[in-house]
Every structure is written in structure tokens, then in C-alpha cells.
Amino acid sequence: MFVIGNNTLVSLDVLEKEFCCDLDTCRGCCCIEGDAGCPITDDELTHLESVMPQLLPQMTKEARHVVETQGLSYLDPTGERVLSIVNDKDCIFARTDHQGWCYCLIEKMGFEKPISCHLYPIRLSRVGEYIGVEYHRWDICHCARIRGKKLHLPLYQFLREPLIRRFGQEWYDELCLTADEWHKQMSK
């Protein structure tokens, strides 16, 4: 792991693994194949609550029922706040178009989706006083790993925008320098 900035530990996989979503193949199934909702912050929950009048009418009947009976979020077994899900797998904000493609209703309505969704397949965790930045390997993302290898696209480069959104440009620049140095050392 590498320390980036003052408070993050970045896993070597983030620098070495190649990844690029292949929506033509997977059709966004990560939003409907989980066993728990995506992690959200208190600020994100407050924001979602404020825009629910716009989102609720566009949600599926099943998702509206979940929100009305269980709420927008719950605490998972580890105590982390996550979005509610439908049928123990589908995000409440997942919608499927007429061609079978899954999309995020939050994003479709012009709002910012939760950072944990934007960062996927990177997951953040608490590691003592640090934030752990780690690659989460999921079988349904096999096509993204194949595409990433074809493009020679490291995960941290694929996720440039969400990493900057979460940690800032200066942090991302430091990550890129660290990756460059690491690759130079490995090629010797």
C-alpha cells in the first residue's frame, strides 16, 4: 500500500490492475446484482432526501414501496449506511430501459450519484486513521477487466474523474507520480 496525501492508503491493485467498464456487454448490471446497497455519506443522504420529490415519481413501483416502508437507507451488518435495495439485490434508483440497459435514475435526472457508485470498483474503508482505497474484484466485472487489458488502462486512470471528485486534483496528481515511480521501479 502507498500513503497518498495525509490520510489515504492506496492498494497496489489500484495502480496495477487494468479496468474499463464495458457497458455494451454488462449493461450496467452492477446496479442490480448486489446483495447490499451502495455506501452513502450523511451528506449524500441529506441531498437525496432533498431531491426525492423529483426522483420518487420516476422510480419503479417496487422501489417506491421500499422507500415508503423502509426508507432511503439502512445500516448494513457492519454498521455502514447504505442505500435501500429492492428484492435483496437491486438499487432503489436503478432503472432499466427498453433495450435492457440499467441506468442510474439519480444521474439521469441530472444529480450527482453517490461517490461510492462513481468510484466503483474502488471501495473506501477505514484503516485506523487512514482511508483505505482498494480495488473490489467482482465476477460480473470480468468484461471490464478484459477491456482494461486490451486498452492497457490502469484502474486509477479509468477512475480519474471520481478520484478527483473525492480526493481532489492535488491528491490525484500525487497518485499519478507514485504510480509512475512504481512502474519505473518494476521495469528495472
128-173 confidence digits (pLDDT tens)? 999 999 999 888 789 889 999 999 999 999 999 999 999 999 999 9
Given 50, 80, 114, the domain boundary residue is 114
Whether 38 and 71 map to the same domain: the answer is yes
Quote the pLDDT of residue 154: 96
Containing structural domain, residue 136 = 1-19+121-188
Whether 68 and 136 map to the same domain: the answer is no
Whether 9 and 50 map to the same domain: the answer is no
**Would strands 8-10 and 102-104 be described as parallel, antiparallel, or unpaired?**
unpaired
Query: What's the pTM value of the predicted model, to 2 decimals?
Result: 0.90
Number of domains in the chain: 2
Lowest mean pLDDT among 32-36, 142-146, 148-152, 179-183: 32-36
pLDDT at 185 over 80: yes
Given 87, 114, 141, the domain boundary residue is 114
- Tell me the sheet residues that pair with 126: 131
Given 65, 91, 114, the domain boundary residue is 114
Whether 53 and 88 map to the same domain: the answer is yes
Whether 180 and 132 map to the same domain: the answer is yes
Quote the pLDDT of residue 183: 87
Q: 121 preceded by cis ω (within 30°)?
A: yes
